[in-house]
Amino acid sequence: MAERIKQVLITYVTHRYILAACLAGVVLFVVPNLIAVSRNHPSTPTLPPPLPPPVNELGQPELSASVGRPSTFPSQQIAPSIAPQIMMLIGMPLLFLASFLVGHAKTQFAHSRARLTPDFIFAHIAVLAAILFLLLVAYPMLIAWCAHAESTSLVAIALAIAAPSIWGIHRGRVSWFFVSLGAFYSLFTERGANFWIIDAEQNWTVHVLIAVAGAVLIAAWLRRLCQLREELDDYQTNIQWGVSRPGGGEAIEQRRLQANQARRSPLITWISDNWLARLPAVPPTNRGMQLPRLLLYGFSPWPMELQAIWMALAMGAMTLFMANFAFSKPGSNTFPIHMFLFFATVMPGWIGGLSLAQRRPRIATELLRPLTRCQLMDSLFAAAARNSIVHWLIMNAGLLFVAWLVLRIQITAGNLIMYVLLSATATFAAWGLSVRTAVWSSPFLRILVMMIVFGLSFGVAAGWLAKGEASSVSVLIAAMALVAIGAALVASARKAWLNLELG
C-alpha cells in the first residue's frame, strides 16, 4: 500500500509547471507574508492601560467585576489591518489550488480505472485527504500561530472558501463560487474582519459550526469521488488547467463538457441558438472581411459581447462592493478601481490568445478548408482582434460608468485621453503577448508567463504613475513603446503560427 500511495503522490508532482508555481508562491508570497503577519503582531503586546476596577459605594474594589475578566484576549491584540493580509494568505492559495486539485482528482476518479484497479480508491483518497488536511487545517493553524490569531476561525475561513469552490469546480457551477468569494471578500470589510479575526473568541461557536459544515462538504466531495459512475452528470474530466494536451478519452470528455455548457439552461441555449442562427446569412466565401466574420462562430457558443458584458458586470459589482464596504477610507478607495482598470486592460488582450489556443485542435481541420495558410491565420487573428476590441470597449465603458457616475471620481478630459491611450496600447501589447504564447501547448505555462509579465508591467506602471503627474510627452512615449512591443509580438506570433505544425 505504501508503494501505491507513493505512486499517487508522484502524480501530483509530475505537473512541473504547477509544482514550480506552488514553490514560487510559497517562496515569494507565503513566506514573506507569514513573516510580515508575525512581525505585525507586537512581541510584547501594548494593551490599553487597565481600567480602574469598579468600586462600590464605599470606594472599595468590586470583587465580582474583576473575577470574570480575562487578563488578555489574544485576538484583541490583532490590528484590523492584518485581516486582509491573513485573507490573502489563506484565500489566494486556496482559490488557486482548489481548481487544480479538483481537476486532478477528476482525471483520477472519473475514469474506468478507478473502478477496475484494485485498491485504487483507497490510495487516491488517502493522498487527497492528506493534502486537503494540510491545506485546510494545518496551513491555517500555522498562519494563526504566526499571527497569534484564533486557529479555529482561520480553519473555518479556509473551509468556507475551499468547500464551495471545490464543489463549484466539480459540478461546473459558477453559483457555488459566490459563496467562496463572499467568504474571501468578507475579510476586506470591517464587519467581516471583526467576525472572523478581531472578535474570534466571541464567535467561536459559529466558527466551529462553519468549520464542521465545511468539513462535511469536503467529506461529501471525497465520497462523491469514490462513487463516480459513468451515468452521473459529473462524471466528466475538467481540463481547464489543461496541464497536458487532452487526447483520446480526455478529448471526448472535453467536447461533452462544452456541449453541456451550451445547453446548461434554456436562456443559454436560446442565446447560443439565436446567435448561430445568423450563420446562413454569412455568404459562402473564402476571402475579404467576410472570412473573419465567419470564423467568429468557431470561437465560442455565444458572442464575445455577451462574455464582455458578464465580465464588466462582475468587475463592476466587485469594485462597488470593495469601494463601499472595504477598509478603505473615503477618498482612498483607489484599489478597487485600479483592480477594474487592470482587468479592463489585461483581459481583452488575454482573451485574444486564449481563444486561439482553445481553438488550436480545430485549426488543423480548418487549415484544409479552401483557404491558404496565410488567409486562415490572418483571418483568425482578425477575428480574435475584433473580439478583443469589443471586450476592451465594453469593459472600459463599464469602468467609466462605475468610476464616473457611481463613485463620482473626478475625471478630466486630459486624464481620460491619457488613460485611453495607455490602456489601448497596453491591451495591444498584452494581445501580442497572448497570441505569441498561444502557440505553446501548455496552458498553465501560458498563464504563468502572462501573470508574471502583467504583474511586473503593472508594478512598473503603477510606480511610475504614483511618482506624480505623468507628463503628456512621457505618456505618449510609453504608448509608442507599447505599440512597438505589441507590433513586434504580433509579428513574431504570426510567424510562429504560420510555421506551427497543427497535426
Partner 1 sequence: MNTSVVRLDHLQKSFAAKQVLRDIDLPIEPGTVLGLLGSNGSGKTTLIKCALGLLRPTAGSATVFGENVWDLSAAAKARLGYVPQEVTTYPWMRVRQVITYTAAFYPNWKQPFVDELCRRWHLPLEDRVGALSTGQLQTVGIVLALGHEPELLVLDEPVASLDPSARREFLRTLLEMLDGHERTVLFSTHITSDLERVANRVAILGDGQIRFHGELDELKDRVKRLRISSRRELPASFAVPGSLRCEVAGANATVSVANFDERLAADMRQTWDADVAIQDLNLEEIFVEMHNGRAN
Question: Which residues contact partner 1 by CB under 8 A?
Answer: 248, 251-252, 254-263, 272-273, 276, 279-280, 282-286, 294, 297-298, 300-301, 361-362, 364-365, 367-373, 375, 499, 501-503
Helices (H), 26-68: 31-40, 63-67
Q: Judged by CB, which is closer to partner 1: 3, or 233? A: 233
Least distance CB 286 / partner 1 (angstroms): 6
What is the CA 451 to chain-centroid distance, rounded?
11
Return the number of the residue (224 or 264) whose C-beta is nearest partner 1.
264
Contact call for residues 143 and 34 (beta carbons, < 8 A): yes
Q: Which is nearer to partner 1, 171 or 264 (CB)?
A: 264
Is residue 34 within 8 Å of 146, Cβ to Cβ? yes
Distance CA 117, CA 159 (A): 31
**Smallest separation (angstroms) from partner 1 to the CB of 301:** 4
Looking at beta carbons only, is 374 or 416 nearer to partner 1? 374
**Shortest Å, Cβ 382 to partner 1:** 16
Sign of the CA dihedral with 386 first, then 391, 397, and 403 last: negative
Q: Where are the beta strands (DSSP E) in 133-253?
A: none
CA distance 495 to 436: 9
- Which residue, 41 or 360, has its beta carbon nearer to partner 1? 360
61 in helix, strand or coil?
Answer: strand
Give the span between the Cα atoms of 360 and 438, in whole angstroms: 9
Closer residue to partner 1 (CB): 56 or 372: 372
For the chain, the maximum distance between any two Cα atoms, rounded to a whole number of angstroms, is 103
State in angstroms the smallest separation of the CB of 234 from partner 1: 16
Least CB distance from residue 499 to partner 1, whole Å?
8
CB closer to partner 1, 271 vs 385: 271
| Least distance between partner 1 and beta carbon 86 (Å) | 41
The dihedral through the CA atoms of 306, 310, 315, 317 has a sign that is: positive
- Dig out the grid coordinates for 171 from the structure: 459540478
* Cα separation, 223 vs 167, whole angstroms: 12
Q: CB 370 → partner 1: shortest distance, Å?
A: 4
Single-letter amino acid, residue 291: L
The whole-angstrom separation of Cα 288 and Cα 292 is 8
Q: Closer to partner 1 at the Cβ: 132 or 371? A: 371
Q: How far is the CB of 221 from partner 1 (least distance, A)?
A: 26
